[in-house]
Structure 1
Amino acid sequence: MKELINYILQFGQLDKQQIDLVMNNVVESSLHKGEHFSEAGKVPKQVGFIVDGVIRGYYHHNNGEEITRCFISENSLVADYVNFEANTVSAEYLQACTDCRLIIFPKDNWEELSRAVAGWDNIKNKMVQICMYQKSRKGPVISQDATTRYREFMENYPSLINRVPLAYIASYLGVTQQSLSRIRRNIR
């Protein structure tokens, strides 16, 4: 819980009573590798904070192929926030790439904090902006050659290289898994 409070306090001040109120509105949870935090075809009902682990955002292309759009790791909010706020059905998935420990704000509790904690909306808006930026961050520029895209991935996500399955990294980079293996061999 300390990680969540430290994260929140980056965006504004809360007194002890307000912090206690926030803590009373969250639940600790976990996801096993492969489980979904939210799914396409369903209305998202929670906002999470990743204490440990990696979650990927992905969707299905018209041909059924999974396309990885983003990776979200420790000390970050995770949510399909646009659909969460609008109470609408999602078109994307948020899936655990590793076993994950999370702190969850169920929708009703998230909304209750806006009513009960002075200044929460300002803090929440700043946290949500970062969450949405991470989720919407564009993948590598496809016009770059695959080796350049992989080098940029290594630079931007050094902690994920050995934690995330190669298939997800390949999907994110827009290459086949075989091509990624060849690129990795040539870089070493």
Structure 2
Amino acid sequence: MSELEKILNIEADSNLKHFKKGEFIQQPNQLKANAVFVKKGLIRSYIIDSTGKEHIYMFASEGWITGDIDAVEFNEPTTLYIDCLEDSEVVLLKSDHLKEADLSKDKLLQNMKKMSRNLGKMQRRILMLIGSPAVDRYNYFLETYPELPNRVPQKMIASYLGIMPQTLSTIRSKIAKGE
């Protein structure tokens, strides 16, 4: 059992769901939402804009949590698609999992530190999308998700970075050549 499972007091079989590659866990405009803890596999959360283009918000592999925060915490309709890029085992978390967990002061502080670290990563990503060259965004992606380049199609990585797949191909080629 991972540290996060212990912190959230997740029972091994409670809310454990199995999804096949390509299956949706969530789609926009649902009225009930859960955060999604990935035990095994790989999922992504994204939106589709008015022109039909996908914009990937996040990848989540083993040990990660993703979800539609406004929907989970504030009962808003969902805005994100969440689907499986691999066969996956996930735990669907309700907002009261943390509220019901019997946490010591130390566990609460650990949890706050993890949440702050994740918020810091999200802030850095937003700032990079606003003002950093694509190569810097790609290097940050590799730092954040070192295991994903071999598990995710290049067009999805490009979507996450906010660039065209051809641009990503050029960046990867230059990195391979040591430029």
Aligned residues: 170
Correspondences of 1:57-136 after superposition (within 5 Å)? 57-105=45-93, 107=94, 111=96, 114=99, 118-119=102-103, 126=111, 129=115, 133=119, 136=122
Instruction: Deviation per CA, 1:41-74: give whole Å up to 9, x if none.
Output: 1123333321122222211223221111222221
Instruction: Deviation per CA, 1:92-134: give whole Å up to 9, x if none.
Output: 22222222111234x4xx648846x5449x86xx489469739
The 1:130/1:102 distance shift into structure 2, 3 A limit, reads: farther
Paired residue type of 2:17? S
Quote the Cα distance in structure 2 between the aligned partners of 1:132 and 1:86. 20
Deviation at residue 160 of structure 1 after TM alignment: 0.9
Quote the Cα distance in structure 2 between the aligned partners of 1:61 and 1:131. 29
Deviation at residue 33 of structure 1 after TM alignment: 2.3
What corresponds to 2:167 in structure 1? 179
What corresponds to 2:4 in structure 1? 7
What corresponds to 1:41 in structure 2? 29
Instruction: Deviation per CA, 1:128-156: give whole Å up to 9, x if none.
Output: 94697399553533432222221222222
The 1:156/1:23 distance shift into structure 2, 3 A limit, reads: closer
Paired residue type of 2:4? Y
Paired residue type of 1:100? S
The 1:136/1:142 distance shift into structure 2, 3 A limit, reads: closer
Query: Quick check: 2:45–2:67 contact (8 Å CA) kept in 1?
Result: no
Gaps of 5+ in 1: 13-18
Deviation at residue 170 of structure 1 after TM alignment: 0.3
Correspondences of 1:160-179 after superposition (within 5 Å)? 160-179=148-167
What corresponds to 1:27 in structure 2? 15
TM norm structure 2: 0.74
Deviation at residue 175 of structure 1 after TM alignment: 1.2
Query: Quick check: 1:72–1:134 contact (8 Å CA) kept in 2?
Result: no
TM norm structure 1: 0.71
Alignment RMSD: 3.3
Query: Quick check: 1:48–1:104 contact (8 Å CA) kept in 2?
Result: yes
State the percentage of identical aligned residues: 28
Deviation at residue 76 of structure 1 after TM alignment: 2.2
Quote the Cα distance in structure 1 between the aligned partners of 2:162 and 2:53. 11
